[in-house]
Amino acid sequence: MLVLQAIRENKEQLITALKKRNLDAEPLLNQVSELDEKRRAIQTQMDSTLAQLNSLSKEIGNLFKSGKAQEAKVLKEQTIQIKEDSKKLSEELNEVVSALDQALFLIPNIPHELVPAGSSEDDNEEIMREGEIPELFEGALPHWELAKKYDIIDFELGVKITGAGFPVYKGKGARLQRALISYFLDKNTEAGYQEMQVPHLVNAASGFGTGQLPDKEGQMYHVTADDLYLIPTAEVPVTNILRDTILSYKELPVRYTGYTPCFRREAGSYGAHVRGLNRLHQFDKVEIVRVEEPSNSYKALDEMVKHVQKILRELELPYRILRLCGGDLGFTSALTYDFEVFSTAQDKWLEISSVSNFENYQSNRLKLRFKDKNGKTQLAHTLNGSSLALPRVLAGILENCQTKNGIKVPKVLVPYTGFEIID
């Protein structure tokens, strides 16, 4: 969530910046300012009430010690009213604080100046494109047909076991999937990201820390018996490793990578565009997370983008990079680059990575801070990105690498798969 200090100091600029999200934030920010002032007023009152009580208690103690029980009794009576007052004030304070929090939760992150204006994905800005889109032969198939033809992914079997959106990967399909995971993790480790294996269920505090809660509760599977959530992305457990932490500037930057399955309810659209691997309830993803000093976070974002590019280049997949417009930008992000791979047989682009800088929006919730060189404690910046989301990479490989004789595995993956062709 936004830092109160920033709202106090730059309200007008924030309102202007948030217009890029097509949001009129003025009423909300005004509400926050009001509640903030109210909170401070009540707090001040309560503090002085408690100060009175503290000094009275001290006096009473001294009187008892010097044997003046009678005088102490008089003072004791005075405390009754004070205690009543402070109780009332503390109730008021709680109300105001929770109203303030509620209001703050409704305000998304401030878009970075590079974020283009726009209302939907059509307004995203394509900043580069690389890789050859292959000419497919007559009779080339979309990936779900290929999956069936070579018996490497079974969607119906997943339906039997669980339901739609939970495919079963078989044989060389499973092996290719595992190869991709290993390959991604190796690339990330090489680039200095520490590999982490994290829980796939998280508590509410973690969901709250990275911003999935309270606003996006419906997107997660909720295990009510234990009040835990299946993770929608490794971002949640991996970033929460550092919740409530004060790092030294020497420990920055922190770079983590982790592979996890991801679970998304994705209630909403159905139809042709969710066919096959395009959209699933459970999928695998390798994630990279960074924690940075504020002054370095945009350089870090660029590094992450370059890193993902490098992987895609090695996989020889045609891709493009989009800078998300204000209307498509995630709630917690300040600047996001999406990577899309071209799905030749479907003749469309599929999102395979999203790399974002959250600045201090997450860290403010997470209480993820660091002590700078001057010994001052301040909020760190958090970033994350997919490197990469598996199903659509797999779809891209199947469709773009299909030949009449089978699917040619990208060269870099052969050491991981142990085979060169799926036939």
Partner RNA sequence: GGAGGAAUGGCAGAGUGGUCGAAUGCGGCAGUCUUGAAAACUGUUGAGGGUCACACCUCCGGGGGUUCGAAUCCCUCUUCCUCCGCCA
Residues near RNA (CB under 7 A) are 40, 43-44, 46-48, 50-51, 53-58, 60-61, 64, 76, 79, 83, 246, 369, 371, 375, 377
* The dihedral sign for the CA sequence 40, 333, 275, 185: negative
Largest Cα–Cα separation, the chain: 104
Reading the block at residue 283, the tokens are: 């999928």
Task: Count CB neighbours of 118 within 10 A.
Answer: 19
DSSP state of 329: S
Spatial separation of the C-alpha atoms in residues 332 and 329, rounded to whole Å: 8
271 SS3 class = coil
- Identify the H or E element spanning 336: strand 335-343
Closest CA to 210 of 222, 202, 199: 202
Exposed e or buried b per residue across 245-282, where buried means at least 16 C-beta atoms within 10 angstroms of its C-beta: bebeeeebbbbbbbbbebbbeeeeeeeeeeebbbbbbb
Spatial separation of the C-alpha atoms in residues 72 and 122, rounded to whole Å: 75
Q: Parallel, antiparallel, or unpaired for β 254-263 and 194-196? A: parallel
Q: Are 181 and 259 in contact (CB under 8 A)?
A: yes
Helix, strand, coil shares of the chain, percent, nearest 5, are: 45, 20, 30
Amino acid letter, 404: K
| Minimal distance, residue 65 CB to RNA, in Å | 7
Q: Parallel, antiparallel, or unpaired for β 153-154 and 168-169? A: antiparallel
Cis peptide before 415 (omega within 30 of 0): no
| Minimal distance, residue 216 CB to RNA, in Å | 24
Cis peptide before 116 (omega within 30 of 0): no
Cis peptide before 388 (omega within 30 of 0): yes
Dihedral over alpha carbons 70, 75, 76, 79 (to 10 degrees) = 170
Q: Report H helices in 68-138.
A: 69-105
272 SS3 class = helix
Reading the block at residue 219, the tokens are: 């997107």
Overall residue count recorded for the chain in this entry:
423
